[in-house]
Structure 1
């Protein structure tokens, strides 16, 4: 009896299986429209899956470009920046002159910007964000103005300068003087427009006097700090130290 039921069940499955038509493959355009529907509803995970399928099926560069950009945007809005970054980079590599390239470049920069850590940690994301914001400013100056790229660039340069100053002070405390000197020089040479510049100039001038007694070089550095727009808040400290060094030079 059990064998009879088993045979009947298998027969039924075969009949149903034969009667069911296989689902036809969706075209790139259909996948794209499906992805856009999910995207508009804020269902970015499902949207990303649809856009990936659209890219795989695409034989039209316009559809492929649109799907690639929306795939990157889907990851961006999911805060999955590690997935969004290569998606934007691939879009910009394949479609550098597309009308939406500026938007892709801006969001690529934001992907790095949103992952920036404190100055005592690795600053790779800070550097990459700065590189891409600067690239946006160079390639699309008008668009860069509308998204306030200059403010971002200034902020990121301040962070990198503070990082160099932080490391320089650490090396001073641990008596790694050559390493400290190199970090101070980086601040003075690469970031003269930053708020930390005058403070770094004062500390470096004091370091030079203490370790090499080179008052002439120290005076030159402090004079540069006084000319700096951000040096006003340190005006008294810089002036006092500068005056002291100049008096010592006269005596000698």
Structure 2
């Protein structure tokens, strides 16, 4: 399932959830354990407040009902509805926590997949800086550590699923945005190794190359970085030749080839200036071999002639 599909499904989750028919009454609890019957009673109070539009009271009572007993008939529904109402309120951090409590406590529930989907949407919002730590208009975003924690929880809830692959890819994107290159590469490589058969793996492999290219563009022009970028692109093209970024990858490969030739020429020029002529010749020859009749190749050929090599 693609990230777009996950978000689309998640967007319908709230519409598909019902808190029960308004004509229902609370179940008879004469033979239930006390904690269960208390939980059910609190649930129906929460349901009444919810139906009346008293969201704050409903959130508090749903939380209390779910805390009272995980075995009560409506405990799962109470926790899920609490999370829903928190999300509708815009309290996304606490909504995520409530969905997490649901996912941990009610894995057999029919609402389990919907809870996971809502977590993906919230975690993505956090990674994109949408969620703020204040609901009073302040502009302080969540810390990177908190966002990482949220994405890791999503991934670990269903470690072999499309949701997990998406969360792991989002981790890499988060690190990439913050120029945490080592962490980004590690996160992307984990997508490739752990989710080989999912579409996120191809995207992650491409992004590994892009991180190396960005390093080069920020000034880290040593040959090792360029070589790593080229290797990552080649791996991508070998494994995913029909992926939608393949054309872009081929263009980047050609560009990296040009950068490599330019670097060899620059090294040759350095040796020429320092009068280390034999070393200069080695690099000029490499440029001629790789650039051929291109202007840089012709220039290198002229330098070799000046050095007495014909």
The answer to whether TM tops 0.5 is yes
Aligned equivalent of 1:187: 287
Q: Tell me if 1:37 matches 2:119.
A: no
* Matched residue, 1:112: 212
Deviation at 1:52, TM superposition (A): 1.8
Q: Which moved more, 1:167-176 or 1:61-70?
A: 61-70
Q: Verify the 8 A CA contact 1:72 1:84 in the aligned structure 2.
A: yes
Q: TM-score, normalised by structure 1?
A: 0.61
Query: In terms of mean alpha carbon deviation, does 54-63 or 98-107 score higher?
Result: 54-63
Q: 1:99 to 1:179 in 2, by over 3 A?
A: same
* Separation (CA, whole Å) in 2 of partners of 1:116 and 1:48: 26
Q: CA RMSD in A?
A: 3.4
Contact 1:35 1:49 in 2 (8 A): no
Aligned to 2:168: 68
Residue 9 of structure 1 corresponds to: none
Which residue, out of 103, 106, 125, partners 2:203? 103
Structure 1 unaligned residues grouped into runs of 5+: 1-19, 210-217, 219-252
1:119-134 map, 5 Å: 121-134=221-234
How many Å separate the matches in 2 of 1:106 and 1:191? Answer: 26
User: Residues 120 and 40 (structure 1 numbering): CA distance in 2 closer, same or farther, change over 3 Å?
Assistant: closer
- Spell out the pairing of 1:1-252 with structure 2 (5 A cutoff): 26=101, 27=103, 33-40=118-125, 42-43=128-129, 45=144, 46-117=146-217, 121-143=221-243, 148-192=248-292, 195-209=295-309, 218=310
The CA deviation at 1:136 is 2.6
Going from structure 1 to structure 2, the CA distance change for 1:31 and 1:80 (only over 3 Å counts) comes to: farther
How many residue pairs get aligned? The number is: 191
Deviates more, 1:195-204 or 1:25-34: 25-34
Q: Tell me, in whole angstroms, the C-alpha distance in 1 between the residues paired with 2:116 and 2:175.
A: 17
Query: Does the 8 A contact of 2:119 with 2:154 survive in 1?
Result: no
